[in-house]
Copies of this chain bind each other. A is one copy, B any other.
Amino acid sequence: MAIEDRMATIHEPRMHAMCGHDPEEAELFRSVLSRIGDKWSVMLVGMLHDGPLRFTELKQMTSGISARMLTHTLRQLERDGLVEREMFAEIPPRVVYRSTPLGKSLAVPVMAIAEWASAHQSEITGNRDRYDARDDG
C-alpha cells in the first residue's frame, strides 16, 4: 500500500475538517491556522516554551517586533489560553508571560510543521526558483 493511500485512509475523517464540511469545527480550525500563520505567535510560543519571560526580554529576543505587535500578539495568545500573563504591582512594573499546558501542547503539531519544512526545504525553494524562472503563464 502506498504511503499516500495510507495517509488518506488513516486521516480520512479529519480531511473533512480541512475541507470545511463541519462549519463550526472548520471555523475553529481556521482560527487556529490563522493564529499560527500570523507573523509572531509561533515564535513567541516557542520562546516561552522553556520558561517565563518578561515583556522586554521577549521584545529583545524577537528581533524586529514592535512593542505594539508584541502586546497585541500576546493578548491574542492569552485570549486563546496559550499564554498566561502575570503582572506585579511594583515600580517599575514587571510583567511575566508563561506558556500554558495548552500552549506547550500546541508546540507539538507546530514542530511537526517545522520538521516538514526542514525536510523539504530544498525541494520547496527549488520549486519556487523554477516557477519564478518560467517564461510561460
A residues bordering B, Cβ < 8 Å? 4, 7-8, 11, 14-15, 17-20, 25, 28-30, 32-39, 42-43, 45-47, 49-50, 61-63, 78-81, 101-102, 104-118, 120-121, 123-128, 131-132
In the complex, how many angstroms separate the beta carbon of A26 from the nearest chain B beta carbon? 8
A124 contacts B18, CB within 8 Å? Answer: no
Q: Which B residues touch A108, using CB under 8 A?
A: 7, 11, 112, 116
Question: With A15-B46, A19-B43, A19-B47 as given contacts, are A102 and B120 in contact (CB-CB < 8 Å)?
Answer: yes
Given contacts A11-B107, A15-B46, 5 further A-B contacts (CB under 8 A): A4-B101, A14-B111, A18-B42, A32-B113, A34-B39
Question: How many copies of the shown chain assemble into the complex?
Answer: 2
Question: With A42-B33, A123-B102, A124-B80 as given contacts, are A111 and B4 in contact (CB-CB < 8 Å)?
Answer: no
Q: Which B residues touch A42, using CB under 8 A?
A: 18, 33
Question: With A33-B37, A36-B33 as given contacts, are A43 and B15 in contact (CB-CB < 8 Å)?
Answer: no
